[in-house]
Amino acid sequence: MIKFYENRKWFYIVSLCLMVIGIVSLVLRGVSLDIQFSGGTKISYSFTGEIAVSDVETIVSSTLGKTASVQTQTAVSGDSDRKTVVINVGGTSSVTPEQLENLTAAMNEKFADNKIELYETQSVEPYIGKRFFTRGIIAMAIAMVLIVIYVTCRFKIISGFSAALTALLALMHDLLLVFFTFVIFGIPINDGFVAVILTILGYSVNDTIIIYDKIRFNKRLYAGKMSIEEIADNSINQVMRRTINTSLMATLAIALVFVFSLVSGLTSVSNFALPLMVGIISGCYSSLTLPGTLWVTWQKLGEKKKKAKA
């Protein structure tokens, strides 16, 4: 049996090291916002064959005088032989029709054999991007508040509020690792980021609730016979195999999607699958090592305060 509480400092050290790596990367690389949040112009071209993303970035830089993030996406609807390349040009000013015409001419000249065609253009004003970003943050905040309320009400027998706060700390751990994944790999923050965050919120808290449910059951069964740390350790060990197996199957499925997207050059899919995979792995780790041990620490501190007052 793994003694999670006794070895808690090692788990905390691992999490702390991951946080430090993420923070250093954030300072060095900064955050890249997609035009959905920052504003700008999204230009899509359809093409055949293969196109190097770096070549497209060079053309955009020389033609528009701006930097852009470039992604290749899935096949054009109704024509499996054609793919799309999406150019996201950030900034407060949209790409003018003349600039778009020049860019299209440069793309056709560079990729004459790829049958380049302008597929779609979309401009997002900065204030609209800011509104999308704000609403995404609000959605995540509301989800976390509802989780705290739910855990507090459901696990009153094991001091629901402390259980909810420790579960929230584990969730914040997972969300930060997902965010740092976007930062480290230079993935632009877009609506996919919000989707990944909300998915991990539900997935991670589900693992934590299973552990708390087992702690609640064992506390009723062994109250007075086992110490609180023994109850927590036994509970975590009893659900550990189930938690790992569930996360492993989900990770393998997403890993297949990630590998397929890399082989097919589908950047938009890989940019979604990679953070999601990291989030699921982190959720499995944090659910087993953080909420239970933090909850025990909280309870023991409460007991010490009661004894001091007595």
Please tell me whether residues 99 and 139 are part of one structural domain: no
Are 135 and 86 in a shared domain? no
What is the predicted pLDDT for the residue at 74?
63
Q: Is residue 1 part of a domain?
A: no
Judge if 79 and 140 occupy the same domain. Answer: no
How wide is the angle at C-alpha 45 spanned by C-alphas 276 and 83, nearest 5°?
Answer: 60
- Residue ending a domain, among 73, 104, 124, is 124
Q: Are residues 140 and 94 in the same domain?
A: no
pLDDT over 90 for what percent of the chain?
A: 35
- Shared domain for 101 and 137, answered yes or no, is no
Handedness of CA 25, 58, 110, 35 (dihedral sign): positive
| Secondary-structure breakdown of the chain: helix, strand, coil percentages, each rounded to the nearest 5 | 70, 15, 15
Angstrom distance (rounded) from CA 141 to CA 218: 32
Closest CA to 204 of 83, 80, 288: 288
Condensed to tens digits (0 to 9), the pLDDT of residues 239-297 reads 999 999 999 999 999 999 999 888 877 777 888 999 999 999 999 999 999 999 999 99
pLDDT at 41: 83
Which tens digits make up the pLDDT trace of 72-119? 766 655 566 778 888 888 766 678 888 888 888 999 888 888 888 888
pLDDT in tens, 52-78: 888 888 888 888 887 777 877 666 555
Residues 232 and 91 in one domain: no
Query: Number of structural domains, the chain?
Result: 2
Q: Distance (Å, rounded) from C-alpha 108 to C-alpha 45?
A: 10
Tell me, what CATH number does 95's domain have? 3.30.70.380
Domain boundary among the residues 78, 95, 124 is at: 124
The reported pLDDT for the residue numbered 306 is 75
- C-alpha span between 101 and 171 (Å, rounded): 47
d(CA 250, CA 307): 46
The verdict on residue 81 lying in a domain is yes
Same domain, 116 and 177: no
What is the overall mean pLDDT for the chain?
86
Q: Which of 106, 124, 142 is the last residue of a domain?
A: 124
Q: Are residues 196 and 49 in the same domain?
A: no
Beta strands in 40-165 (DSSP E): 40-48, 69-76, 79-90, 117-124
For residue 230, being part of any structural domain is answered with yes
Mean pLDDT of 168-181: 93
Q: How far is CA 236 from CA 15, 219, 233, 297, in A?
A: 18, 13, 5, 15
Please check whether residues 174 and 219 belong to one and the same domain: yes
Alpha-carbon distance 203 to 197, whole Å?
Answer: 10
d(CA 180, CA 169): 16
Domain residues for the domain of 205 are: 8-33+128-309
Do 173 and 233 lie in one domain? The reply is: yes
The answer to whether residue 181 sits within a structural domain is: yes
